[in-house]
Structure 1
């Protein structure tokens, strides 16, 4: 197993500044985009929805998501630290960015379109994509893969919440 910064193949890892930008900028962009579409809808549309008893308080979402986005950025940073020619690296990076796009799409489906059903469809795909990302990361960097488990757990919980909201309001 290779560790961040190690390189035995020509080409080496992604250069540090580029690696930082590729790891942090897209994750931050998804966080900001999600917040921009979600925040205005919380006191309006979301407040009117029937919600299950296991709905967390609204203030909890920001610190949880901030922590998860930091873990996600660090996980992909570690994968980008591996040599570009490392078998499985390109697939792992692709899997990460697919799940990141689905993460962003969920905010637009659920909050932007005011559609718990569309959100449920997207979040189900997101669960599959997170699992695929963890599977792709595992042989390359087990710690990077483990960094995504809290994210998977939270999205699993969010899936149950999304499903219950759809059921209660459908």
Structure 2
């Protein structure tokens, strides 16, 4: 990949936007809020349904901006490749959670996978923060939201187990 300083600004923005959109689209198509999900006992602190798409849209937009900021601030192609790899891994883990929770109807497995997702976000914050403080700050709502999602996921497991 070309060093950031030699690439037109619109290219990484377009790629990051497409990657964020694709992750959201795939995760959204896997998410099934049908009878199984409705039948689950949920904790009292579960946000209202309309909050979820607003939160995720905001988070994916912030992730795209954070990725571009870190990638453009990278001083070597190795660093920029690492940024891309970390965001790709994070996107995979994000989609995998939806697959485990909604399609496989395994909130118990999804919780443990969510721990990996949380660690991937923490890694992004630390790694990208060394390159771009802005990038790290933009990722803070993501880790906060996934922390809340983890508490929700854990409570769903606790209130509804066993699964499978």
TM-score (norm 2): 0.89
What is the alpha-carbon root mean square deviation over aligned residues? 1.8
Query: Number of residue pairs matched?
Result: 159
Give runs of aligned pairs for residues 3-82 of structure 1, distance below 5 A. 12=5, 14-38=7-31, 41-82=32-73
| 8 Å contact from structure 1 (residues 102, 125) kept in 2 | yes
**Contact 2:21–2:60 (CA under 8 A) maintained in structure 1:** yes
Determine the structure 2 residue equivalent to 1:7.
none
Any gaps of 5 or more consecutive residues in structure 1? 1-9
**Uncovered stretches (5+) of structure 2, i.e. residues with no partner:** none
The equivalent residue for 1:96 is 87
1:94-138 C-alpha deviation (Å, 9 max, x unpaired) = 212211110111111101111101211211100000000111101
**For residues 54 and 33 of structure 1, what CA distance do their matches in structure 2 show?**
27
Offset of 1:93 from its aligned partner?
Answer: 2.5
What is the SS of the residue equivalent to 1:12? helix
Residue in 2 that maps onto 1:6? none
Q: How far has the Cα of 1:11 moved from its partner?
A: 6.8
- Runs ≥4 in structure 1, deviation > 6 angstroms? none
CA contact (8 A) 1:109 1:115 kept: yes
Rounded Cα–Cα distance in structure 2 between residues aligned with 1:36 and 1:115: 17
**8 Å contact 1:27–1:69 — kept in the other structure?**
yes
